[in-house]
Copies of this chain bind each other. A is one copy, B any other.
Amino acid sequence: MNNTDALKNIRIVLARPSHPGNIGATARAMKTMGLSDLRLVLPRHFPHPDALARAAGASDILENAKVVDSVSAALDGCVLAVASTARHRELRHDTMDARAAAREALDAAAAPVAILFGNETAGLTADEAANCRIWARIPTDAGFSSLNLGAAVQIFAYELRMACATAAPPPVAEFAPATIGQVEQLYAHFEERMTVSGFYNPASPGRLELRLRRLLARARLEAEEVNILRGFLTTLEKPKRR
């Protein structure tokens, strides 16, 4: 994960939110993803204990949130605004999904960029959305598109953070993989024990060898796991405990 510094320039704007719980959920969603700049346009109730409760450990985002009286004021200084909207409109702007919009937003985030969310019930007005060059949609089920406001902010914030990861470093192998030779020795050990137990008849092998080799290859065994399994097989060679 690199380039997360750009997230400092991403501003979340809620236009006329009705439910203070959603403001708190927004603050928490932002902070988990490394965002911090919240602007509220004419919130119905703010500050409010429900906002504080839902913010959990993100109360600092609420304390630093700026309350303004218009979307234009909330977008002050921004070089790009993205509208989150589920609507189809006659006269479209650039429309894209949230993932593509997050990339565009991040690409522009050398300067402030806003993501704008409308009221829970009414969404964004045409005037509010007109401020935005990009209209972005979160794909939802055709039968039920009613995303919660805090959930919508969470998805955008998450996509912004994911967009920061241009090239993830390869995972560090914590455990040593078994060599092919070690797996081969394990296979031979299995076969020997299976023959002794009567499970496997080398004179009539069928597909057992193929099946077992295939399984062992797919398991991507670690060296230590080969040792464990061979340790077990070795105990089978000894007289059973009574």
Residues on A facing B (Cβ under 8 Å): 1, 4, 25, 28-29, 31-34, 54, 56-58, 92, 95, 99, 138-141, 143-148, 150-151, 154-155, 158, 161-162, 165, 171, 174, 190, 193-194, 196-200, 208, 211-212, 215, 218-221, 224-225, 228, 231-232, 234-236, 238, 240-241
Given known pairs A158-B155, A219-B215, A225-B215, the reply for A241 and B196 (CB within 8 Å) is: yes
Measured in the bound complex, the distance between the Cα atoms of B199 and A143 in whole Å is: 56
C-alpha spacing A152/B31, complex, angstroms: 14
Closest B residue, CB atoms, query A224: B211
B162 and A139 contact, CB distance less than 8 A: yes
Per a CB cutoff under 8 Å, which of B29, B54, B144, B234 touches A58? B144
Main secondary structure on A side of the interface with B: helix
Beyond A29-B148, A141-B161, A197-B232, list 16 extra A-B contacts (CB 8 Å): A28-B146, A28-B148, A32-B145, A32-B146, A32-B151, A56-B148, A58-B146, A95-B171, A148-B154, A151-B151, A197-B236, A198-B238, A198-B240, A199-B235, A200-B232, A218-B219
* Distance, CA A87 to CA B135, complexed state (A): 36
A154 contacts across to B, CB distance below 8 A:
148, 151, 154-155
A165: contacting residue among B4, B139, B200, CB under 8 A:
B139
User: Closest Cβ of chain B: how far from A233's Cβ, in Å?
Assistant: 9
Question: Lowest 5 CB-CB distances: which A-B pairs, in order?
Answer: A219-B219, A34-B141, A199-B235, A197-B235, A151-B154
CA A117 – CA B197 in complex, angstroms? 43
Closest to A197 in B: B235
